[in-house]
Structure 1
Amino acid sequence: MAEKILEVEDLKINFRTYNGKVQAIRDISFDLYKGETLAIVGESGSGKSVTTRSLMGLLAKNAEVDHGSIKFRGDEIIGKSEDQMQKLRGAEIAMIFQDPMTSLDPTMKIGQQIAEPLIKHKKMSKKEAWGKALEMMKLVGIPNAEAHINDYPHQFSGGMRQRIVIAIAMINRPEVLIADEPTTALDVTIQAQILDLMKKVQKEINSSIIFITHDLGVVAGMADRVAVMYAGQIIEIGTVDEVFNFPQHPYTWGLLNSMPTTETERGELEAIPGTPPDLLEPPVGDPFAARNKYALAIDEEQKPPFFQLSPTHFAATWLLDERAPEVVPPLEVQKRWARYQAAHPEADRKQAVAVDATAVLGTEDNN
């Protein structure tokens, strides 16, 4: 079994506002294993970034952790002082932010910015740290690194700036790397290069990655496991193969059905109707019920438990209850199911078993 690096259990985070408490994260649990990539996907506002910022203690001043636990290598993070968190940030847990121009200091040479974490955390001399910075620049694919180590951020293209941000995040060989939509502002060609680079550097330093995105196409080639978030909750989690090819939650169906593939015919894509719920007053039952054409009466009254389909696959939907009627998912999802079940004859959604939400912790990764 792979070594467990991170455990998030029963986490709930609120934001205090003039209108009341926004329940941004509502009782989520997941784990992260050594060397794996866990993708967290969902619409804007689903809680992806808030979840990962809580891992680094970077929440806004009006945020409060209502309850829950975040353990890094068995050590509780919640409640640590700012000084204690600063020792973790950049050394053990690092983050690649979405926009490199807001992440980089425009007044500092990039060599200095890459070397700074080594000087702060490793107490290296400036000369040694700059030497390591040069090595990292070459590793992340910055051409003619010796000539550009004294350049400033504005002298680089968007793709090169993102490489610099990756170099800064990885210079201390962190155990956990959080990538917050790192390719959103890049064109498709540069996006592919950055994703290949992240996989290469991950293999080089054997780090674990939490990859935040709303782009399922990126997830398919990047992640080992996928957690689907909606309205501050994880509503489905499993391996990439399970979530992409044997999805069970109607929200996951909607995400996949709105994503073009090489087999998609003209006019087949469908958007998910409606908007996410107001988290000042979250729904009592399934938060997706109001947008879900497959919703049952109980979805309006009671939150669904997680149903376990395999040792690694869980989905929170009443459609998996043995008392639920049979529903016909979108055609694209039916095709995915057929391919998956042909390769995995043992897969049977009728055998799903209701489990406690925290059961997603402790599942063994299939890497």
Structure 2
Amino acid sequence: MEKILEVKDLQVSFDTYAGEVQAVRGVSFDLRKGETLAIVGESGSGKSVTSKSLMRLIPSPPGRIKNGQVLFEGKDLTKLSEREMQDIRGSEIAMIFQDPMTSLNPTMTIGKQITEGLRKHQGLNASAAKVRAIELLDIVGIPNPEIRISQYPHQFSGGMRQRVVIAIALSCNPKILIADEPTTALDVTIQAQILELLKDLQEKLGMAVIFITHDLGVVANIADRVAVMYAGKIVETGQVEEVFYNPQHPYTWGLLGSMPSVDATDEELIAIPGTPPDLLKPPIGDAFALRSDYAMKIDFEMEPPMFKVTDTHSAATWLLHEDAPKVEPPAIVKKRMRPVNSQAAGKKEGAKND
């Protein structure tokens, strides 16, 4: 599949009174046409800063892209002028933010907010833009769109407001959609509806999606590939089945172990001890070492490289070095692991259950 986006050694910092906060410390990944990449990690891992940097939405000052490339269809977005970026935002790359209420202007009707982008990027006149806006509201599942287009954000529920935000993001048929924790402010039932909507739209429109979340349960249902972030770096990446059923990094074990499972109601969840490191002074070696039960001496001395597990799966942990001791994931994680990409194994499991 052809690559539509390549991120190479992205470094983003914020200048504060206390010093330089190194929020993103050399992130590299790619995105292929039509696929969904999930970027996962706890709060403060650098997920949202990474996603906003792709669209050059980091406020400057205090934020700045120190180094790296963001290649969209071969064009380095970090080198473009603000005027050139304005032509790309919305039309080529669109974004859905966390809180739909703060994403919408409370003084403007829904219709005006949707047609704004259509008129700027698509060159539609007022009447054609209104027709398209009604179509978009219908596509995202808002009933009576011809009436609701004249209403204001406060007249919509949280789930409906998020549907409006999705309609705005899709209005100019972007090639990449970045969804930054789009279901965080919604209840569980509405979350499921929004996720299903995004999945359906992605399949119908064929756009690539970057999905930012701290919820691994979301990842399992929506992503093709996963990148796990910690302390401003990607520490594990692979196909969703590989990361879920053959995780290699202790941090990924912790995330999986802390995820509730309907199949294991009697099991105690894992709590990752401690807190993420202070990125004013990033630690030497593996940033997760102080919180890991599996840390070795080398973890405090040298930063681990990305070790290749398969052609599509890599992890940055010294546990994958050939001289490292062999350790097993926690029991709760092992219970959830299954053979990767093995249809035969799946059939045997089904036969046993029958």
In 2, the alpha carbon distance for the partners of 1:69 and 1:241 equals 29
> Which residue does 1:195 correspond to in 2?
195
What's the offset of the Cα at 1:340?
Answer: 1.6
Query: What's the Cα RMSD here?
Result: 1.4
Hey, what does 1:243 align to over in structure 2? 243
Say whether 1:270 aligns with 2:270. yes
Counterparts in 2 of 1:305-344, with a 5 A limit?
305-337=305-337, 339-340=338-339, 343=342
Q: Which moved more, 1:12-21 or 1:250-259?
A: 12-21
Equivalences for 1:65-104 in 2 at 5 Å?
A: 65-104=65-104
1:121 aligns with 2:121: yes
SS in 2 for 1:274: coil
Deviation of 1:336 after TM superposition, in Å, equals: 3.6
Task: Determine if contact 1:5/1:73 at 8 Å carries over to the other structure.
Answer: yes
Letter of the aligned partner of 2:211 in structure 1? F
What is the alpha-carbon distance in structure 1 between the residues aligned to residue 195 and residue 10 of structure 2? 29
The residue that corresponds to 1:27 in the other structure is 26
Q: Is the 1:109–1:149 Cα contact (8 Å) retained in structure 2? A: yes
CA contact (8 A) 1:8 1:71 kept: yes
Aligned pair in 2 of structure 1 residues 325, 37: CA closer, same or farther (>3 Å)? same
CA distance in 1, matches of 2:97, 2:65: 22
Once the two structures are TM-superposed, the CA of residue 135 in structure 1 deviates from its matched residue by: 0.5
The secondary structure found in structure 2 opposite 1:238 is strand
Distance 1:342 1:101, change over 3 A: closer
8 Å CA contact 2:38–2:225 kept in 1: the answer is yes
The whole-number CA distance in structure 1 between the counterparts of 2:195 and 2:265 is 28
Retained in 1: the 8 A contact 2:106–2:152?
A: yes
Match of 1:48 in 2: 47
Q: Please report how far the alpha carbon of residue 77 of structure 1 lies from its aligned counterpart in structure 2 after TM superposition.
A: 0.3
CA contact (8 A) 2:242 2:340 kept: no
Q: What CA distance in whole angstroms lies between the structure 2 residues aligned with 1:98 and 1:144? A: 25
Correspondence for 1:355:
none
Structure 2 letter corresponding to 1:10: D
Secondary structure at the counterpart of residue 186 of structure 1:
coil
Consecutive unaligned residues of structure 2, counting only runs of 5 or more, are 345-354
Provide the C-alpha distance between the structure 2 equivalents of 1:243 and 1:82, rounded to a whole number of angstroms: 37
Q: Tell me the residue number matched to 1:363.
A: none
User: Which residue of the partner structure matches residue 178 of structure 2?
Assistant: 178
Alpha-carbon offset, residue 344 of structure 1: 8.2
What is the deviation of 1:261?
A: 1.2
Please state how far the C-alpha of 1:342 moved relative to its aligned partner. 9.1
Q: Do the aligned partners of residues 306 and 188 (structure 1) sit closer, same or farther apart at CA in structure 2, a change above 3 Å counting?
A: same
SS of residue matched to 1:28: strand
Q: Which residue of 1 aligns with 2:351?
A: none
Q: What letter matches 1:89 in structure 2? A: R
- CA deviation vs aligned residue, 1:206-246 (integer Å, no higher than 9, x gap): 11110000011111101100000000000000011000110
Q: Which amino acid aligns with 2:220?
A: A
Matched, 1:259 2:256: no
CA contact (8 A) 2:236 2:249 kept: yes
Distance, in Å, in 2 between the alignment partners of 1:217 and 1:169 is 24
Deviation per CA, 1:314-335: give whole Å up to 9, x if none: 1000000010001121012223
Secondary structure in 2 aligned to 1:298? helix
Q: Which amino acid aligns with 1:134?
A: I
Q: Which residue of 1 aligns with 2:131?
A: 131
- 1:32 is paired with a residue whose SS is strand
Q: Deviations over 1:73-115 (max 9, x none)?
A: 0001002111111000000000001011111011111011111
* C-alpha distance in 1 between matches for 2:92 and 2:136: 17
Q: What is aligned with 1:58? A: 57
What is aligned with 1:288?
Answer: 288
Distance 1:286 1:331 in 2: 24
Give deviations 1:103-157, integer Å, cap 9, x for gaps. 1011111011111111001111010011000000000000111121101111000
Contact 1:110 1:151 in 2 (8 A): yes
Count of aligned positions: 344
**Contact 2:231–2:287 (Cα < 8 Å) also in 1:** yes
- Corresponding residue for residue 220 of structure 2: 220
TM-score for the superposition, normalised by structure 2: 0.95
Distance (Å, rounded) in 2 between the aligned partners of 1:149 and 1:117: 15
TM-score normalised per structure 1: 0.91
Distance 1:166-1:342 versus aligned 2 partners, 3 A rule: closer
For 1:323 and 1:341, how far apart are their aligned partners in 2? 25
1:277-330 deviation line (CA, Å, top 9, x unaligned): 000110110000000000011000000010111111010000000100011210
Aligned residue for 2:79, secondary structure, equals coil
Alignment deviations for residues 241-284 of structure 1 (CA, whole Å, 9 cap, x no partner): 00011000000000000101122242511110000000011011
Structure 1's unaligned 5+ residue stretches are: 346-367
8 Å CA contact retained: 2:111, 2:133: yes
Alignment of 1:157-176 (within 5 A): 157-176=157-176
Q: Where do residues 149-160 of structure 1 align in structure 2 (5 Å cutoff)?
A: 149-160=149-160
In 2: Cα distance, 1:265 partner to 1:248 partner: 25
Separation in structure 2 between the aligned mates of residue 319 and residue 36 of structure 1, nearest angstrom: 30
Q: Are the counterparts in 2 of residues 248 and 315 from structure 1 also a CA contact under 8 Å? A: yes
- Asked whether the 8 Å contact 1:246–1:336 carries over to 2, the reply is no
Identical pairs, percent: 62
